């Protein structure tokens, strides 16, 4: 094996090792919150953004099925009671009402439609 061959073999070996080894430091950058999941405008939307967004993006709200006011209230109570979300009692009420109004079983739109019938 001449010098050049040896060097080529050595380089090939280094390359194989480099491929097999896992990088010592690995890091990623996560994207900001999904801009397509903004919550509806409505009474209390500020309280939702201020409080709920501490822990999670708003897709956690807009992707949920439209369930009842007591069910939404239960979710808000769970966030406070189980996960310790630092939400004041007044804000909690506002948030529950907002969610039931905008993401509840009877949406704001259909209420308007109902009102228009009378």
Site string for another protein, 88-117 (x = CB under 8 A): ------------------------------
Give the residue with the Cβ less far from another protein, 35 or 116.
35
Query: In angstroms, what CA-CA distances link 84 with 36, 38, 51, 88?
Result: 28, 24, 12, 11
d(CA 72, CA 102): 11
Under the binding rule (CB under 8 A), the answer on residue 50 touching another protein is no
Reduced to 3 states (helix: H, G, I; strand: E, B; else coil), residue 67 is: strand
Q: Classify burial at 52, counting beta carbons within 10 Å of its beta carbon; exposed 0-12, middle 13-18, buried 19 or more.
A: buried
Stretch that binds another protein, among 4-12, 76-84, 88-96, 107-115 (CB under 8 A): 76-84
Under the binding rule (CB under 8 A), the answer on residue 17 touching another protein is no
Under the binding rule (CB under 8 A), the answer on residue 63 touching another protein is yes
Smallest distance from another protein to CB 48, Å: 14
d(CA 11, CA 66): 62
Site residues (vs another protein, CB under 8 A): 22-38, 54-57, 59-60, 63-65, 67, 71, 75, 82-86
């Amino acid at each position: 094996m001449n010098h050049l061959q040896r060097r080529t073999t050595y380089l090939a070996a280094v390359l194989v090792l480099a491929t097999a080894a896992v990088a010592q430091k690995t890091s990623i950058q996560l994207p900001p919150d999904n801009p397509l999941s903004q919550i509806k405008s409505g009474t209390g939307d500020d309280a939702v953004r201020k409080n709920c967004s501490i822990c999670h993006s708003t897709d956690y709200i807009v992707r949920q099925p439209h369930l009842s006011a007591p069910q939404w209230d239960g979710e808000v109570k769970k966030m406070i009671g189980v996960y310790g979300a630092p939400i004041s009692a007044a804000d909690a009420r506002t948030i529950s009402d907002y969610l039931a109004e905008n993401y509840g079983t009877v949406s704001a739109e259909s209420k308007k439609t109902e009102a228009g019938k009378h």
